[in-house]
Amino acid sequence: MSLSNYKISSEQDLRMLGNMFVVSRALHVIAEQKIADLFEGNQAKSVEELVKQQPMSATALRKILRVLCPFGIFKENADGTFSIEEIGQTLKSNHSSSMRDLLFCEDCRWNSFGQMSQTLQTGEAGFSKLYKQEYFDYISKHSNLQARFDDHMKAVSAKEDLIIAKYLPLENRDKIIDVGAGKGGLIRAMLEKHPEIVGGIFDLKDVVEQESKALSKKYGKRLEVFSGSFFDPLPFKSDGLILKRVLHDWDDASCIQILSRCREALSDSSAKIYVIESLVKGEEDPALFRIFDLLLLTVFGGVERSAEVYESLFSQAGLKTQKLISTNSEMSILVASK
């Protein structure tokens, strides 16, 4: 079976599609609980052996593995043991192209999707309806969720950061600060590519604290670490600010506030803000992009936007659009200045 063409035409397929949430959840749980790590190489294992390695219900584990067999992730052997197929190997944490951190859907995210009827009625994020607070506030109070989210973003951004570092036009910037930088992958890529520049990262305190030692050790005075909220005045001035995969987590009013804070932090009229996002293009938008767009609403109350909508947000935040740069990735760079 290939999922490269998603169009279905039979009632059986429709029924299958309606129950694919079971498959998704099985995959999340396998990734979260690091079940693939229990298999050494291609070695076949019985569920009895697996539950000795990691305490679990043998009955539930067998069912979860069996659900994933028809999709070519695991294989059920004639003697009742299971092995991992080639694509399933990428669920291992130490695989060179590990997908484990990308298959991220902790219980609190998952529960948000149970609120989708409410989201449909009100447009409100299922997450905040259920937990009475926003996603980032919630995970900041649960260090395991915060760490898992940061690892997830690192995995999402790993390849694209190298591409963006090539495309982002520095145009004599002295200093570039990544706002909402997560683990700082993009700034690392920028500093490696441009040995003449200095940089900085800014994010919530708990997020940057973990990275700051390693970054300071590696880059010394070339990299400054700042913490705080981008809804408050920013604790620096710079002639280059980056916002990557940040604005799509927020509604328009919040985006205008974040952009306004960034505008205030620009050192002069030639300073630039680089907003890096996937852009809505219309009917050719791929299925996975549409799924993420709904996910953004459900979990964060966020939204993917077109270039035109970003330009309107810039203007409402007192910024002028300078240019739009496409990259050979799903991400585009919108450049704005005062």
Ligand X SMILES: C[S@@+](CC[C@H](N)C(=O)[O-])C[C@H]1O[C@@H](n2cnc3c(N)ncnc32)[C@H](O)[C@@H]1O
Of 313, 308, 333, 321, whose CA–CA distance to 259 is shortest?
A: 313
Instruction: Give the per-residue contact string, 19-58, with ligand X (x = CB under 6 A; - = no).
Output: ----------------------------------------
Q: How far apart are CA 116 and CA 126, in angstroms?
A: 6
Q: CA–CA distance from 202 to each of 55, 77, 126, 175, 272 (Å)?
A: 40, 50, 28, 13, 16
Q: What are phi and psi of 217, to 5 degrees?
A: -60, -40
**If binding is defined by CB under 6 A, does position 244 make contact with ligand X?**
yes
Closer Cβ to ligand X, 118 or 254, answer by number:
254
Segment near ligand X (CB under 6 A), from 5-13, 48-56, 169-177, 242-250? Answer: 242-250
* Among 89, 112, 128, 157, contact with ligand X (rule: CB under 6 A): 157
Smallest distance from the beta carbon of 291 to ligand X, in angstroms?
16
Cα–Cα dist 313/256, whole Å: 6
Q: Does residue 262 interact with ligand X by CB under 6 A?
A: no
Helix (H) or strand (E) holding 158, with range, is helix 143-167
Are 43 and 83 within 8 A, CB to CB?
Answer: yes
> Judged by CB under 6 A, how many residues of this single chain contact ligand X?
16
Which of these segments, 2-10, 56-64, 174-182, 212-220, binds ligand X (CB under 6 A)?
174-182
CA distance 104 to 102: 5
Which of 29-37, 113-121, 176-184, 286-294 is the region at the interface with ligand X (rule: CB under 6 A)? 176-184
Does 293 sit near ligand X (CB under 6 A)? no
113 binds ligand X, rule: CB under 6 A: no
If one asks whether residue 136 binds ligand X (CB under 6 A), the answer comes out as yes
Cβ proximity of 79 and 37 under 8 Å: no
- Report the 10 Å Cβ neighbour count for 34: 13
The residue within the footprint of ligand X, chosen from 101, 203, 277, 293 (CB under 6 A), is 203
Site of interaction with ligand X (CB under 6 A): 136, 153, 157, 180-182, 203-204, 207, 229-231, 244-246, 249
